[in-house]
Every structure is written in C-alpha cells, then in structure tokens.
Structure 1
Amino acid sequence: MSDDVDPGLTVGQVAARLDVTVRALHHWDEIGLARPSLRTAGGYRLYTGADLERLHRVVVYRELGLGLDRIRDVLDDAGTDVTGALRAQRAQVDRRIERLQRLGTGLDRMIDAHERGLLLTAEQQAALFGPDWDPEWSARAREAYGDTPQWQAYAERSAARGPEEWQAVTETVTALERALGEAMDAGVEPGSAEAGRLVARHREVFSAAYFPLTRQMQVCLGRRFATDPEFAAHYDGIRPGLATWFHRAIDADARANGVDPATATWP
C-alpha cells in the first residue's frame, strides 16, 4: 500500500482516504497507537506511506471489533498470537450475531403481535379458549383499539407468549370466574369484603393477562359485562345472573374506593 503513497499526507487527506475522522487520528496519535512520522515547519502532522500502512491496519482491526489496546498488542508485540486474537474476536462476533438473531426474532414477534394480537393459529386458539371462541376477535379488537396504549401493552404481553403461556393465563382466568360463580351461589353480596376481594383479584388477573386495569376502566368493563350480549352470555353461561352480579360488585367496590360508577370513563 505504501508504494503508491507519497510522504507528507495531511491529517485531512488521511482521514478522507481511510474514512475516519480527524478526531480519531488525533486521538491515535496522542495515545501512541499511530503517530505521523513527519511534521511541517508549523508543527502540522504529516503521514508517510508507512504511517498510512499502519493506520490501515488499525482501521481493519478496529472494524473487526478489537479494542485499541488489543490493536496495539497485535501491531507492536511480537509475542502476540495474532491468529488467536482474531479467533477470539471471531467467537465474540458469533455470539453477537446470535444475540442479534434473537433480537430480530423478538422484533418480528412484536411486530406481528402489534398487527395481529394473538400469535396463535385458529386451531391453537380453539384448543386453549374453547370451541365457542371466535378467532376473528383479535382482528376486530385490533381494528377498534389498535392505536391505544392498552392494545400496545396487550401486544407486548402477547409477543412473549406461546401456547403454554396462554394456557397458564386461561387457567388463571377460569379459576377466577369459577370463584365468582361460587361466591354468587354462596350469597355473597356486592359491596361486601369478600366481593371486594374478588373484584380486586379480577383487576390483578386482567392486568397481568392483558393490560393494566384501573378501577374506572373496570367499571366500564363491568357495564359491558352486563349489557353486551357476548360478554353477558359468557358470564351467564358460568352462572345464570353472574353478569349482573359481577357488574354490581364492581360498582360497589368502585364507590367504596371513591369512584362514581355513573361518571367513570375509559381513558
């Protein structure tokens, strides 16, 4: 490389040739890694062909990921095992590639989750959520709520879940709904301490499964449980009248905690 390079290249000329910054060249000079051999009468740095050859090697090794101290060893220490150093760097690159591949896979899942919600096939959804589950629910929810923080939080949870994780969510939700039905059968009154614990448990389960649920948001959901035909059919399918009972329990808990159900709104 040095055969066709005239001595006396300025810092700016070297920076342009090697596609590095002038600041980097000054730093390498200051730490003694790659110093210019010549100076002008005014004290300005000038690089010879041999200097440029060394700088070229610095740039190559730096692009391979070696630190500046390690580069100095490779260039100046005759006892340095250059091949070994490069093999070690190759191993680091392989690990970095593996991490980036995992990151890429995670990003793909996150993108899919934001676009689709559930990352499960229709068959997996039916197996997990029952034959009455509508696999188009997620698409409808995305269309209605896709630009909300709640959908974004739900998508982030969904991206991290496969069938086993969704199975655990389903079992937790089913256990809660069973407890609600048993409480109604036992005559638990909305507004009682036991009903309040169940309402709080619903918020916790919902927040972990889908997105953070405030009391005001829970009140809005409670209205839908009682008035929306699909929700009402679901809860009344567990116990006749459960949709209305749960709605009353949510409202009573809200009042006890300073939230007026009549004015509660979804964020």
Structure 2
Amino acid sequence: MPEATDADGLTVGQVSTRLDVTVRALHHWDEIGLARPSLRTAAGYRLYTAGDLERLHRIVVYRDIGLGLDRIRAILEDSTADVPGALRAQRAQVAEWIDRLQQLSAGLDRMIDAHERGLLLTIEQQAAICGPQWNPDSPAQARQRYGDTTQWRQYAERSASRGPEEWQAIADAVADLDRALGDAMDAGVTPGSPEANQLVERHREVFASYFPLTRQMQVCLGRTYEADPGFAAHYDGIRPGLATWFRRIIDASARAHSIDPDTATWQ
C-alpha cells in the first residue's frame, strides 16, 4: 500500500498523481464521506495520511473491477462483509463482459472483412450458391469499382451478418424473379401494366437485400442492365430481348411515379 512521504501527508493534487485518480473524483469521494482526508493545515488545506491512502488504494482497485461506490463503501465499512464473495460475483460479471467483448471483436472483424471483400464466402460456397458461371473475381472487382460509395457500405453491413444459408435464399429470390420476368415477357405483359409494375416493385424488394434502392436508382440500373454487356448477356440469356424489356417496364413504372427516366440520376 502507498504511504505518505512525510509526516504532514499529501495534498489532493499529490494523491491524484500518485493514484492516477482525478481531483474531481477525490473531491466527490470526500463529499460523500467515502474517503475523507484526515489532516488539515493551518491554512485550511486538507491532507491525506498513510491510512487515508490505503483506503483510497482499495477504493481504486474495487472501482476498477467494476464495483459501484455503494458496494465499495459496504465492503470497506462492514467488518462482516463477504469480500471474497463480492469479488467472485464481480469476477463472474467480468467474465460475461469479456465474452461480450470477444463477440463484439469477432463482429468487428467480420465487418472489416465485409467492407474489404464484400462477400464473406469461400470460393466453393460462392460457386455452390451462384452456379458454375460465377466469376470468383466479381467481389474484388465490385469492391474496386464501388468501394467508396454509400451503397457499398450498406451492402457490407448486410454482408457481415450473412452466412451461406442467407445468401442462398437471396440467390433463390433473384432466380425466381428472373424466371418471372421471362415468363411475363413471353405472356406479352406490357410496360406500365399492373403486372409489369408489380414485377418492378418485386425487383426493388429483392434488390434491397444488397442495399436500399430508390426508384431513380432503379432506372439507372435498368439502363445498365440493357447497356452493360455482362448484364445484357445474363438477361438476354433468359429470354432474347429481356434486358431491353426489363428496362422499359422500369421506365414505365418510374413515369407513373413522376420520374423522368431520361433525366433520372443515382440518388
């Protein structure tokens, strides 16, 4: 235990430095009677004795392991207090904190990986979910292209909490939508019709698995589906001309919501 270096004791400032406790905390403990300095100088300054320092040291130790001030007072002032029992209970609580912190650390690791990689699946898992045509370089290419955007951050936050089962459910929903689009085109569904508008809404709902999609953003995606060779090949592989038809039903739905597809921007 720390002891006073001279017979007159130590000032509040000296104790603050020695025990690494704020002066404010020492004043508070003095005010509530938890740890009061025993001496006073002729000028009215209060000094802490060696015995005071011993009590303060115990307070600091108990406080640092998480005990509240009322519990600390009871331990210090009640000679019958079960100190080992109180410490064991506190140790159990600390163990719970450590477990929660470890879980938080693991979650942060996944969040970091998701922001850097996008898809937290092995190459084998990606191929099993997306099919043999899946390009394992796609997540890295997407990160390079979109990594500085708000949408990538939103996508990463969703990705961090997903495992293979969740991604499989999303892939199934996308595949079901693709089939429904092809069937609707075969059935002669026209842009602007209730059936077409329902498919456009379904697309926004499915796409929200990646990040929230506004109608204006959906119009921009429709243009990309038609103009980008990779997307166009995907949709036209389902039905010839599906990429253009899909863009047209998105545009028609946008007009119904007072959005001009020709001037729509990514917002």
Question: Which band: TM-score by shorter chain?
Answer: over 0.9
Task: Encode CA deviations 1:181-228: one digit per residue, 9 max, x unaligned.
Answer: 221122111111111111011111101x11111111111111111121
- Amino acid in the other structure paired with 2:11: T
- Partner of 1:52: helix, strand, or coil? helix
- Amino acid in the other structure paired with 1:245: W
> Could you tell me how far 1:240 is from its partner in structure 2?
2.2
> Could you tell me how far 1:114 is from its partner in structure 2?
0.6
- CA separation in 1, counterparts of 2:5 and 2:13? 15
2:19 aligns with 18
- Amino acid in the other structure paired with 2:123: A
- CA separation in 2, counterparts of 1:3 and 1:236? 84
1:201 aligns with 202
> Could you tell me how far 1:43 is from its partner in structure 2?
2.5
Gap change, CA 1:69 and 1:159, over 3 Å in 2? same
- Amino acid in the other structure paired with 2:263: T
Decide whether the 8 Å contact of 1:2 with 1:50 is kept in 2.
no
> Could you tell me how far 1:65 is from its partner in structure 2?
1.0
- Amino acid in the other structure paired with 1:232: A
1:248-267 counterparts in 2 under 5 A?
A: 248-267=248-267
- CA separation in 2, counterparts of 1:54 and 1:35? 10
> Could you tell me how far 1:4 is from its partner in structure 2?
5.8
1:244 aligns with 244
Question: How many residues are matched?
Answer: 266
- CA separation in 2, counterparts of 1:4 and 1:49? 5
Q: Does 1:73 align with 2:93?
A: no
Gap change, CA 1:3 and 1:104, over 3 Å in 2? closer
Decide whether the 8 Å contact of 1:184 with 1:242 is kept in 2.
yes
1:106 aligns with 107
> Could you tell me how far 1:2 is from its partner in structure 2?
5.9
- CA separation in 1, counterparts of 2:175 and 2:46? 76
- Amino acid in the other structure paired with 2:17: A
- CA separation in 2, counterparts of 1:55 and 1:261? 71
- Partner of 1:262: helix, strand, or coil? coil
- CA separation in 2, counterparts of 1:236 and 1:181? 9
Give structure 2 stretches of 5+ with no counterpart: none
1:135 aligns with 136
- What fraction of aligned residue pairs are identical, expressed as a percent? 74
Decide whether the 8 Å contact of 1:5 with 1:48 is kept in 2.
no
Decide whether the 8 Å contact of 2:185 with 2:245 is kept in 1.
yes
Decide whether the 8 Å contact of 1:2 with 1:49 is kept in 2.
yes
> Could you tell me how far 1:5 is from its partner in structure 2?
3.8
Task: Encode CA deviations 1:32-65: one digit per residue, 9 max, x unaligned.
Answer: 1111111123322111110011001101111111
1:217 aligns with 217
Gap change, CA 1:2 and 1:147, over 3 Å in 2? closer
> Could you tell me how far 1:229 is from its partner in structure 2?
1.4
Q: Does 1:162 align with 2:163?
A: yes
Decide whether the 8 Å contact of 2:4 with 2:49 is kept in 1.
no
- CA separation in 1, counterparts of 2:251 and 2:63? 64
- CA separation in 1, counterparts of 2:177 and 2:3? 80
- Amino acid in the other structure paired with 2:41: T
- Partner of 1:245: helix, strand, or coil? helix
- Amino acid in the other structure paired with 2:230: E
- Amino acid in the other structure paired with 2:119: L
TM-score between the two structures when normalised by the length of structure 1? 0.96
- CA separation in 2, counterparts of 1:153 and 1:123? 25
Task: Encode CA deviations 1:81-140: one digit per residue, 9 max, x unaligned.
Answer: 100100111111111111111111111111111111101111110000010011111111
- Amino acid in the other structure paired with 1:265: T
Gap change, CA 1:240 and 1:66, over 3 Å in 2? same
> Could you tell me how far 1:174 is from its partner in structure 2?
1.5
Farther-moved stretch of structure 1 (5-14 vs 90-99): 5-14
> Could you tell me how far 1:3 is from its partner in structure 2?
5.7
